[in-house]
Amino acid sequence: MTNIKESIENIRKSIVEVCQKSGRNPDDVMLLAVTKTVDVDIIEDAINYGITQVGENKPQELKRKYEILGDKVKWHQIGSLQSNKVKYIIDKVELIHSLDRVSLAEEIDARAKNIGRTINCLVQVNISGEESKHGLDPDEAVEFIKKCSKNYKNIKIKGLMTMAPYDVEEDEIRKIFRGLKNLSIKIENEKIHNIDMTELSMGMSGDYKIAIEEGATIVRIGTSLFGKRNYNV
């Protein structure tokens, strides 16, 4: 049984340490607790111990938990998102981390418009080039973002997101995170209307320290907070 209070404190301490070592302000790194498969009671405990942001990867699961916990915490959609499931989360999310194609942008924009909201999104980029990973090719990102700026007024792009592969050396992971940071600088320099490049969502339990060293502003942490996930519950 994981002690949630202790693991939250440990991760927070560790984030502060890495920030200090790399000359960053810990206030600039958001801890996003990844709560997929985690029970609502445990999420409530985590909220009581100071968690303010949670991430889910299944829209229906986010909706179910939102109906219980509501605005006690801010909700993030992480991981691939099917267009036909946008409707479950559109009125609940603080940030969508996985905008990676025009058809999804169209759906988010239309649904957002319907409810009179602007939805914050990160563009997911596949820096590693792994077949299995979702996300745009880095070469396609600039054009995609220009298109969003022009066509989707109810989407506000706030930055980029990526996932590193699990089974590679630290050097390789660092290269991927640095690649995302460099891409965000490149996009920022394009000065595209209504596009911010303030957020970099990168780093999970196994690699968040490297991600912070390379400029992450959001780390998405599940296992190190809640223990190994049980997908059977």
Ligand X SMILES: *Cc1c(COP(=O)(O)O)cnc(C)c1O
Note the residues at the interface with ligand X (CB under 6 A): 34, 36, 57, 78-79, 163, 204-206, 220-224
Compare residues 34 and 154 and give the one whose CB is closer to ligand X: 34
Q: How far is the CB of 33 from ligand X (least distance, A)?
A: 9
H or E segment and range at residue 211:
helix 208-213
Q: Find the residue with minimal CB distance to ligand X.
A: 222
Number of residues that make up the chain: 233
Residue position matching structure tokens 């460099």? 182
Closest approach, Cβ 208 to ligand X, in A, equals: 8
Measured from the CB atom, the residue of 149 and 227 that comes closer to ligand X is 227
Of 51 and 204, the one with the shorter C-beta distance to ligand X is 204
Alpha helices in 115-169 (DSSP H): 138-151
Q: How far is CA 209 from CA 19, 29, 78, 119, 158, in A?
A: 9, 11, 19, 29, 22
> By the 8 A CB rule, do 199 and 217 touch?
yes
Which pair of structure tokens corresponds to residue 13? 């301490």
In angstroms, what is the minimal distance from the CB of 141 to ligand X? 18
Task: Work out how close the CB of 167 gets to ligand X at its nearest, in angstroms, rounded to a whole number.
Answer: 13
Task: Output the smallest distance, CB 53 to ligand X, in A.
Answer: 13
Which C-beta is closer to ligand X: that of 163 or that of 183? 163
Instruction: State which residue, 24 or 36, has the beta carbon closest to ligand X.
Output: 36
The residue among 129, 125, 130 whose CA lies nearest residue 184 is 125
